Amino acid sequence: MSGDLCLSNARLVLADQVVLGTIAIEKGVIAEITEGDHVPAQAIDCEGDLVMPGLIELHTDNLERHIEPRPQVDWPHLPALIAHDAELASTGITTVFDAMRAGSIHGNAGRYRDYARKLADELLAARAAGVFKISHYLHLRAEICSETLLQELAAFGPDDRVGIVSLMDHTPGQRQFRDLDTMRTYVTKKRGMTDEQFAEHVENLLELQKRYAVAHENGAVQEARRLGAVLASHDDTTAEHVSISARNGVGFAEFPTTAEAAKACRENGIAIMMGAPNLIRGGSHSGNVAAEDLARSDLLDIVSSDYVPSALLLSAFHLAALWDDLPRAVATVTRNPAKAARLPDRGTLRAGLRGDVLRVRQYDRTPLLQGVWSRGNKIG
């Protein structure tokens, strides 16, 4: 259901400026924006707080954390989906593309199971039943160096409304894991592997890349077209990687690992997405390029919360301080991801768009959410 809402005496973060005024939402859609400090009857007096569009998240590992809270622990999916939805709503995210791995690896300590189709069915059923607070779409992470990628993608159809297909290659020695010591630390802690198991895992991944990478990448590109999904690259590292992404029709690049790749993305008209944890921490946990360095070089368009949902709102204010431009910073978590994901009905405070809005005030340069509304309904 869609609600009615009027927020007044608010600093409205518009596309290119911040103005003091009122935003009225009727039947879930922004009906009117007016300037001034007048507070009409029945309106909420925001007392000068910021009002901005709801956040749009294109790539988050948060759902996987809820369905597998610890290695090899399989949590019931519906409660996990509900908890994930509520957590995102509490951080100001009103639209999410839930990342699910497509492509399984069987055998050895590095195995991954097929779960995306079943989880997607449960998510879509819950969405249809009106269970969720926020808007959910599917994001299929296509692991091209796996044994079953194309079969798993074939299980999805246009009616599933898959929004994004991203091309993943986590083979050791390249892209995200150029440094094997960094990969060893990450994987052995996450999967509980011994050094011997890790060595076996690396050998297996290298063999899988030889067998499947080219055919599966080509197949995944075709599947994305069949599904009507936006195609994304992942962890591009070199200009050659970006050249291939451009030929494939990639719309945005998730987490390029070097300045070289980011510059090539800009030259090829591919939007650049970086992780909020990288931005807030001042660097990548994998030793890759710092998001802040790309932001200073005008090589950052979109921010993703990645593995820390609360980091998305925080990252917008971090960029606002860096750029001295709040509307530009807010666009990296609202308007720009909406454009990249082909969602023209949200991401900006403008009459006729969805009434997904946040009320925010600041404490010690940290944003404090005072309210979250989805289609005019208060959800946080």
- Domain match, 32 and 89 both: no
Which has the closest alpha carbon to 62: 113, 96, 29, 12?
Answer: 96
Backbone φ, ψ for residue 310 (5° rounding): -70, -15
Whichever domain contains 240, its CATH number is: 3.20.20.140
> Across the strands, what pairs with 136?
96
Mean pLDDT of 5-9: 98
112 and 196: one domain?
Answer: yes
CA gap 344, 194 in Å, rounded: 48
Provide the b/e sequence for 250-288 (b: ≥16 CB within 10 Å). bbbbbbbbbebbbbbbbeeebbbbbbbbbbbeebbebeb
Give the β-pairing of 302-304 and 230-234.
unpaired
Do residues 72 and 183 share a domain? Answer: yes
CATH number at residue 29: 2.30.40.10
Is the same domain home to 362 and 272? no
Q: How far apart are CA 132 and CA 96, in angstroms?
A: 11
Smallest Cα–Cα separation from 202: which of 103, 64, 104, 108?
Answer: 108
Q: What is the pTM of this model?
A: 0.90
Under a CB-based contact definition with an 8 Å cutoff, are residues 127 and 95 in contact? no
Expressed as residue numbers, the domain containing 353 is: 1-53+347-380
Q: Do residues 190 and 62 share a domain?
A: yes
What is the rounded (10 degree) CA torsion for 282, 285, 289, 291? Answer: -40
Are 224 and 299 contained in the same domain?
A: yes
Please state the rounded mean pLDDT for residues 270-299. Answer: 94
Per-residue pLDDT tens digits for 71-113: 778 899 999 999 999 999 999 999 999 999 998 766 554 445 7
pLDDT in tens, 138-164: 999 999 888 889 999 999 999 998 999
Same domain as 193, residue 261: yes
Residues 112 and 218 in one domain: yes
117 and 96, same domain (yes or no): yes
Q: Into how many domains does the chain fold?
A: 2
Based on the domain organization, do 29 and 162 belong to the same domain? Answer: no
Statement to judge: residues 338 and 353 lie in one domain: no
The answer on 68 and 30 residing in a single domain is no
